[in-house]
Chain A
């Protein structure tokens, strides 16, 4: 089957109300990093990802059924990710973000930006 790969980048201003938001770190010494979270066997792997503001997080669906990456509270949500498809977010602010798959809510993950 032709594997479609769509790459959508969404820059989000993630400012959860329970955290004091800080601005991105334009003068930070380290370069922004790219993190990959694989969606495999109905799990987000790794389940918890620690990032710095400015880093990119990419989710790739390795399962044969569609999944989503949806933040608790609806702050952000990917489109439906079919097999082989991916979605990216650049985190600009500190925060701890829990997310899940809208289709399979037992699948959960955590993104910790600090």
Chain B
């Protein structure tokens, strides 16, 4: 997730810096503005350099990351179904398995239709590594501790993924069918985020 958020941060920072560079110059503060502009130029150069090292994702990579993110949540859910008897956790986990399986099946169908192969990439790999750590952590917990950790993780995970899908994947995706699927998926994931928030309230209050 770090790589995804870094990409997003670079885009956001670059935009902010560019907007800053477009502001009008006041003669009374020309010297200050001159220094500020120089700093901004330096910052832009640094960000551009960073973006060169962090190339923009292509459609095949976006498809791979999105599928990976869904598969990870399905695995969290299976763990929850196996380890928790909290009804809120059970209900949410069943929803995650059902909905993410449907979305991922839709993605597989699109991949087949377009005759493309999603491209593994450092972001997908990092997502899987971090998910493995979280699964390991969750698998040590039981009862209320598990329910609270699972609920918190689901809310945070959906917030992060939704942010990236909305602000990076959808604007970046080139293929219209992939873009449409990402939009439909985002709609689903936002509903999940709402359910996750409700689950947190109920679990934390228990």
Contacts and interface: CB of A to CB of B under 8 A. Distances in A.
Contacts of A64: 102-103, 106, 181, 184-185, 188
B194 interface: yes
A105 to B, nearest CB: 9
B102 A42 contact: no
Interface in A28-60: 41-42
A82 B102 contact: yes
Interface residues of A, number: 12
Give the interface size class of chain B: 10 to 19
Contact of B98 (A66, A83, A106): A66
Interface string B54-97: 00000000000000000000000000000000000000000100
Contacts of A83: 102, 106
A104 B105 contact: no
A7 interface: no
A65 B102 CA distance: 6
B197 to A, nearest CB: 12
Contact of A41 (B95, B185, B187, B195): B187
A82 B99 CA distance: 10
A82 B101 CA distance: 12
A64 B195 CA distance: 18
Contacts of A63: 184, 188
A104 to B, nearest CB: 6
A41 B184 CA distance: 8
B191 interface: yes
A4 to B, nearest CB: 12
Contacts of A106: 191, 194
B21 to A, nearest CB: 39
B105 A65 contact: no
A13 B191 CA distance: 34
Contacts of B185: 64
28 contacts: A1-B105, A1-B106, A1-B109, A41-B187, A42-B187, A42-B191, A63-B188, A64-B102, A64-B103, A64-B106, A64-B184, A64-B185, A65-B98, A65-B99, A65-B102, A65-B103, A66-B98, A66-B102, A82-B102, A83-B102, A83-B106, A103-B95, A103-B98, A103-B99, A104-B95, A104-B195, A106-B191, A106-B194
The 4 closest A-B pairs by CB, nearest first: A1-B109, A65-B99, A65-B102, A64-B184
Interface of B: 95, 98-99, 102-103, 105-106, 109, 181, 184-185, 187-188, 191, 194-195
